[in-house]
C-alpha cells in the first residue's frame, strides 16, 4: 500500500492503471475510519482490481461554528486499517493541493440540496459536490462506494453523476450499526456516556416508525408526531429535522409507501447525529 498526497501524482497513477485495463474502486472518506467505512472498503476490494481510499477533511463543507477544527483525525490508525482491508493507495492531500490559491470553481446541484441537511447547513452540499467531483477527476474511479447513513448526500451525488455524465457507477451500501443499533459515525466519539445512551432514541424511533407504517393506512404526519414525541422525551436531545420523504425527490410525503424514507437529524448534547430508514419493506 502506498500513500499519495499530490493531486498530480494521484491522477497520473490512476491514468496509468486505467491505460493498463485495471478497474479502480474508490471509497472517499474524511478518515477516522470505523466499521462502516470498512464495509465500503470490503465491497470495493471485491468489485475492483485496485482499491483507492481518500482521506480528506474537506473544509468547504463545514459551516461557520461547525466542527472542522475538532473533527477527529488519526491518519496512522486509518492507514493500519486500510492496509488490513487491502487498500492499494491512500490519497490524503493537504487542503492547499485541493484548493490552491485563487481557487474559484464550484459544483452546485439544485433542489434536493435545499432541504433537510441543506436547509440547516447552508453551503454544505456545494462543498460536498465540489470536493467529490474533484476527487472523481483525480482518482478516475470506475465505481465509488458511499454509505446509506448520509442518505441525502448519496442522493445528491447520484444526481450529480447523472447530470454531469460522469463515467462511473455509484453504489450505496447499508448503514452499519453498533451492537446497540446506534448508526456508526466518526462523531459518535464526541458523545459522553449519558449522551451516548440517549442517542439510542434515534434508532428506536426508526423502529417504532416502521411498526406504525406496517399497520397500513397511517399518515406520515401521525408517524412523525409519534417519533417526535419519543425523541423530545429525552432531556439531552434537540431535533434539527424530522421528515418522511420520497427516496429520489426528497419531497415530503403525505402518505407512506414503498418510496418513503424517514430522515432525521438530532443534536444529542452538542453533537449532531443523522439516521434514516425506509418505512416499508
Q: Name 206's bridge partners.
A: none
Burial of 247 (0-12, 13-18, 19+ CB in 10 A): middle
At 52, list the grid cell.
483507492
Q: Which residues in the chain are classed under CATH 3.30.1300.10? A: 186-274
CATH 3.30.1300.10 fits 186-274, yes or no: yes
Question: Under a CB-based contact definition with an 8 Å cutoff, are residues 170 and 154 in contact?
Answer: yes
Query: What integer pLDDT is reported at residue 134 of this predicted model?
Result: 98
The answer to whether the Cα torsion of 28, 262, 155, 170 is positive or negative is positive
Cβ atoms of 53 and 90 closer than 8 Å: yes
Angle separating helix axes 35-47 and 75-84, nearest 10 degrees:
40
- What DSSP assignment string belongs to 93-138? --HHHHS-TT--------STTSSTHHHHSTTHHHHHHHHHHHHHHH
Of the candidates 34, 37, 124, 246, the residue annotated as catalytic is 37
CB 193 within 8 A of CB 200: no
Q: Does domain 2-173 have CATH number 3.10.290.10?
A: no
The three-point CA angle 236-241-245 to 5° equals: 140
Tens digit of pLDDT per residue, the chain (281 long)?
A: 999 999 999 999 999 999 999 999 999 999 999 999 999 999 999 999 999 999 999 999 999 999 999 999 999 999 999 999 999 999 999 999 999 999 999 999 999 999 999 999 999 999 999 999 999 999 999 999 999 999 999 999 999 999 999 999 999 999 999 999 999 999 999 999 999 999 999 999 999 999 999 998 889 999 999 999 999 999 999 999 999 999 999 999 999 999 999 999 999 999 999 999 999 98
Q: Residue 157's closest CA among 180, 139, 131, 176?
A: 131
37 is a catalytic site residue = yes
Going by C-beta distance under 8 Å and a sequence separation of 6 or more, which residues neighbour residue 67? Answer: 187, 190
β 169-173/143-147 pair status: parallel
Q: Kindly report, as residue ranges, where domains of CATH 3.40.50.620 are found in the chain.
A: 2-173
**Pick from 39, 28, 46, 25: nearest CA to 184:** 39
- Report pLDDT for 39: 98
Amino acid at each position: 500500500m502506498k500513500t499519495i498526497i499530490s493531486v498530480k501524482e494521484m491522477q497520473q497513477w490512476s491514468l496509468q492503471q486505467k491505460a493498463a485495463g485495471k478497474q479502480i474502486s474508490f471509497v472517499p472518506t474524511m478518515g477516522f475510519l470505523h466499521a462502516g467505512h470498512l464495509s465500503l472498503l470490503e465491497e470495493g476490494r471485491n468489485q475492483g482490481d485496485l482499491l483507492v481510499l481518500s482521506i480528506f477533511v474537506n473544509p468547504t463543507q463545514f459551516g461557520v461554528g461547525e466542527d472542522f477544527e475538532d473533527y477527529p483525525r488519526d491518519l496512522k490508525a486509518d492507514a493500519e486499517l486500510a492496509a488490513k482491508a487491502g487498500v492499494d493507495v491512500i490519497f490524503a492531500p493537504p487542503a492547499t493541493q485541493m484548493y490552491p490559491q485563487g481557487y474559484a470553481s464550484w459544483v452546485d446541484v439544485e433542489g434536493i440540496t435545499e432541504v433537510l441537511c441543506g436547509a440547516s447547513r447552508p453551503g454544505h452540499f456545494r462543498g460536498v459536490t465540489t470536493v467529490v467531483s474533484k476527487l472523481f477527476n483525480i482518482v478516475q474511479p470506475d465505481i465509488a462506494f458511499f454509505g446509506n447513513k448520509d442518505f441525502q448526500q448519496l442522493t445528491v451525488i447520484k444526481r450529480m453523476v447523472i447530470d454531469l455524465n460522469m463515467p462511473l457507477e455509484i453504489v450505496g451500501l447499508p448503514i452499519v450499526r453498533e451492537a446497540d443499533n446506534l448508526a456508526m459515525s466518526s462523531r459518535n466519539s464526541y458523545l459522553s456516556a449519558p449522551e451516548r445512551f440517549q442517542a439510542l432514541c434515534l434508532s428506536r424511533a426508526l423502529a417504532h416508525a416502521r411498526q406504525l407504517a406496517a399497520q397500513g393506512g397511517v399518515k406520515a404526519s401521525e408517524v412523525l408526531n409519534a417519533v417526535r414525541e419519543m425523541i423530545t422525551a429525552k432531556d439531552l436531545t434537540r431535533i434539527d429535522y424530522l421528515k418522511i420523504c420520497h427516496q429520489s425527490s426528497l419531497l415530503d410525503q403525505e402518505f407512506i409507501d414503498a418510496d418513503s424514507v424517514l430522515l432525521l437529524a438530532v443534536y444529542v448534547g452538542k453533537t449532531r447525529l443523522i439516521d434514516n430508514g425506509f418505512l416499508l419493506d
